[in-house]
A and B are shown apart, each in its own frame.
Chain A
Amino acid sequence: MFYCDQYHVPQTLEEAFDLIQTNKGSYKVLAGATDLLPWAREGRGGDVNFESVIDISKITDMSEWQLQGDRISLGANVTIQQLLEDPFLRKHIPVMAKSAVWFADDQIREQATLGGNLVNASPAADATPPMLAMNAELTLQRKYKGKINQRKLSLDEFVKGPGKTNLEDGELVTSVECDSMPGYGSAFEKVGHRRSLVISTVCLAALVSLSDNGRQFEDVRLALGGVGPVPVRLHESESCLISKPVETELINKSADLAVKNVQSRTRQEYRREVVFNFVKRGIIEAMKDIETNYAEVDKNIKPRKNYG
């Protein structure tokens, strides 16, 4: 069970930093609490007691977003449901909506935040692969000697391992910046046991843009989750396709290059097979999402086995 002695709900970042200062060494920051409360139970975290909980979910500065040139800045408190429903977000970061529709269920999405999912850093996190694919960068702020210090870390620099990040003591993730990608087709693949409330065994985010005649890949972004201690960007699989013709053999090769990223502790053979098929299908679904003509590819996904 989750226990605490004090529960604070700061309305501004300043307030939050003051609380962090006052409660140095004995505070816990939470946003949506949708990972924390299920974790604080017998068999996982068990009974946990925090002296001071600092709930940052009501800080309005962290709930907004804006376009900044070809990047978009999202407040860390943007909810997963907003990523699913908001028309502006669906246009500029389309892959997030594709990921959000598979995220827990609608009730949890209303409470869960983007920042929370990234900071929780589960290897199976659903928001991390799409954010990686969009070159996400996190803004971290900390109050030091009366001044707010800010630094930025790319998402792959931020996530270190399962549940581990480079967030320092006293720091808060206040916003996430990523590419604005209107016009890209996107896809999110996830495998698990049922429609809702599934922890990914493997998940993949894909974004694609094609040349005007639809025959050539202009840009491809691919990122994988659930297959190792941290989610990974599939740079090799991407370079194999960028500026190349849309062709079955190249897509197969791109998918093949992704398979070696499987470094999970269990079920490796299964994950390898899924990774191959997800990359292939993700690229094809992302292309379909663009609604322009595209070169005929072999739509019969032939599963491949024997990944050693």
Chain B
Amino acid sequence: MANFDIQLTVNGRQVSQSVSPHLRLLDFLREELHWTGSKEGCGAGECGSCSVFVDGVLMKSCLMPVAKAQDTIIETIEGLEEQGKLNVLQQAFQKTGASQCGYCIPGMMMAATAALRANPHAGREEIKERLGGNICRCTGYQKIFEATELARDVMNGTLPDDLLKQENDEGPFIGSNSFRIDTSSKVTGSLKYAGDMVMPQMLHMQVLRSPYPHAEILEINTSAAEAMAGVEAVVTCNDVPGIDGFGVFTDDQPVLARGKVRYVGEAIAAVAAEDLVTAKEALKKIKVRYQQLPVITKPEDAIKTGATVIHEDVPDNIVMHIPIRKGNVDKVMAESDHVIEDTYYTQPVEHAYLEPEAGLAYLDADGTLVIQSPSQNITHHRHKLAKILDLPINRVRMIMSAVGGGFGGKEDMHYQGIMALAVLKCRRPIRYVFTREESIIASAKRHPFIIKYQLGLSRDGHIQASRIHMLSDAGAYNCSSEGVMRKAAILAAGPYAIENLIVDAIGVYTNNTPSGAMRTFGAMQSQFATECHLDLCAEKLKMDPVELRLMNFLKEGDETHTRQKLGSVSMLEVFNSALELADWEAGISNSRGSTRSDLGNPGNRPPCTLGAREFPQETVSAGQSA
């Protein structure tokens, strides 16, 4: 109920409105005033994408009930622009290429503005300190710091302002410093991500998710939810008109749970209602009866005889097994001078893109279904949707909205199908915005691996045989597991000439969160094992780890382990350049410690030490004494 009267100034404009008292300042700015530049990345005050100035003080607007802003002066990212022209800081962000996906950028710009207002001569360390409450997932921060320093120097007159202009490079594109064409939309906060979009008659969606890792669904009763005032549609798997199932390689995942749930967080039903509160209330009224089933949490358990079957059409729970066989490993391993074995473990990783998933779905005037979402795979998704919805392809349109970070995590179509079903049912636009918690619970993770590694080497360091066994937890649904196993297997043995090779990459179903695409797609996990193992072998053989690599690299004219003939190999060039830049000091790695000559020089990293950490500089304003 809108019973709280608020008056405040936002970006120079006086505002007076009656609002629901539970709104946070962030909600008020975004939903009531449509200043969508400030973002919700976490809702818990951690990420800083909601940072705004309140009476000149930088604060996290997701932590402020709107009443706290009564009679205050608010400045958001949209207020930084000067008469439609980028200010110095915005130009600096453009010049250094500081923005990638752009989602953290409004918050970063506000923090950088706060830093330079507090101390126009702030050095790098102080800039880092003042930006400490703002997280970025894409850039690694360096260009953001550079941009802030560049802006500082231009504003102080230490550097000329034509340094902010694009370099006039006439040569080839590659290697040139060009402005990204979308930067200005990102540094002004004007770019609309899916969660920023609004449409007349728009409804809000909420999704009921499984509390159990493995259970049969005996009954779903949506009648009470459907009867609620303000609820326009409730959907379940029964609303699928076409052929259910989506995925990247196999269509093993239903749009909404069908018959059973296979992981905690799996979507079961969804509500589209006039407002978020009504949608949430309606969810509570959906009654589901479950029969819990035995749960598989470890990939080792999934392949035991008699293990619970997670997908009926895959009785052995094996999503994909990619083998590579070459030569005679058993014989040559037995004859090797050294046989060195170890097991490597990698963990599931959350993508944690700053932009939680979101979508806006609607019907065009001609009846075409349109979904705007930060999907990394709109062509694939479009075809899947057409099949699921039994619509001709020209009646399904997918628009890739600005992606606030993906890294592979937005390749799965895990909510667009749900939105489509609801839009077709109620014929009105629907927006669905995930909370951070929902994003973490529902979306795929990087595949964890257990890698058993065995290498047979000759006395002088030649790799003669390699046996690599990789077991990976694919979670409840395939997603990209097939491809991940393939990549992991193909690249497992590394860029080394090995004549006898056994590789097995086995992805198995479990009742854990599905594993899916995430940067490197399986190769990082297998090569992490390979490189660690080679380093260990070098120690055991008392060899320089560089020498061990040089001895075994694939060369031009060699065949890879999957029979690709190598026509051009720049390995040595790249490797030698890296060694030079690193000042590599030859020798066995574990015997020199801090006496190494390739640490602590200009251009190298300092040696790692353990010791008491200095207190960070406490921020004391000029004129105050400690």
Contacts and interface: CB of A to CB of B under 8 A. Distances in A.
Interface of A: 1-7, 9, 30, 32-34, 37-38, 41-43, 47, 53, 55, 57, 84-85, 87, 90, 97-98, 101, 104-108, 110-111, 195-197, 281, 285, 301
The 5 closest A-B pairs by CB, nearest first: A105-B133, A7-B21, A196-B132, A38-B44, A42-B437
Contacts of A85: 619-621, 624
B68 A55 contact: yes
Contacts of B45: 34, 37-38, 104, 107-108, 197
Contact of B63 (A38, A84, A285): A38
A3 B618 CA distance: 37
A33 B133 contact: no
B67 A55 contact: yes
A57 B68 contact: yes
A97 B57 contact: no
B58 A84 contact: no
B60 A108 contact: yes
A107 B58 contact: yes
Contacts of A7: 4, 21-22, 65, 67
B63 A37 contact: yes
A87 B625 contact: yes
A9 B67 contact: yes
Contacts of A55: 65, 67-68
A43 B437 contact: yes
Nearest to A3: B22
A4 B59 CA distance: 22
Interface centre among A1, A32, A281 (most CB of B within 10 A): A1
Nearest to A37: B63
A106 B133 contact: yes
B533 interface: no
Contacts of B62: 37
Interface in B41-89: 43-46, 48, 51, 57-60, 62-65, 67-68, 70
Interface string B603-625: 00000000110011011110011
A4 to B, nearest CB: 5
Interface centre among B22, B24, B43, B621 (most CB of A within 10 A): B22
27 contacts: A1-B22, A3-B277, A7-B21, A7-B65, A9-B70, A33-B64, A37-B43, A37-B63, A38-B46, A38-B63, A47-B280, A84-B619, A85-B620, A85-B621, A101-B615, A101-B616, A105-B48, A105-B132, A106-B58, A106-B133, A107-B45, A107-B59, A108-B133, A110-B58, A111-B60, A111-B68, A197-B132
Interface of B: 1, 3-4, 21-22, 24, 43-46, 48, 51, 57-60, 62-65, 67-68, 70, 129-130, 132-133, 277, 280, 435, 437-438, 611-612, 615-616, 618-621, 624-626
Contacts of B60: 107-108, 111
Contact of A2 (B58, B65, B626): B65
Contacts of A108: 45, 60, 63, 133
A120 to B, nearest CB: 14
A112 to B, nearest CB: 9
A107 B48 contact: yes
A107 B67 CA distance: 18
A116 B130 CA distance: 24
B68 A33 contact: yes
A162 to B, nearest CB: 19
Given A41-B44, A106-B58, A106-B133, A33 B65 contact: yes
B306 to A, nearest CB: 34
A106 B51 CA distance: 11
A208 to B, nearest CB: 16
B318 to A, nearest CB: 33
B625 A2 contact: no
B624 A301 contact: no
Given A2-B22, A9-B67, A108-B63, A84 B44 contact: no
A98 B615 contact: yes
Contacts of A57: 68
Nearest to A86: B624
B57 A110 contact: yes
B3 A6 contact: yes
A235 B294 CA distance: 52
B267 to A, nearest CB: 15
A111 B59 contact: yes
A302 to B, nearest CB: 11
Contacts of B129: 195
B513 to A, nearest CB: 14
A154 B129 CA distance: 35
Contacts of A47: 280
Nearest to A106: B133
B506 to A, nearest CB: 32
Given A47-B280, A85-B621, A196-B132, A41 B22 contact: no
Nearest to B54: A110
B465 to A, nearest CB: 41
Nearest to B60: A107
A63 B202 CA distance: 44
A297 to B, nearest CB: 13
A197 B132 CA distance: 8
Contacts of A97: 618
Contacts of A106: 58, 130, 132-133, 619
B459 to A, nearest CB: 39
A111 B438 contact: no
Contacts of B612: 281, 285, 301
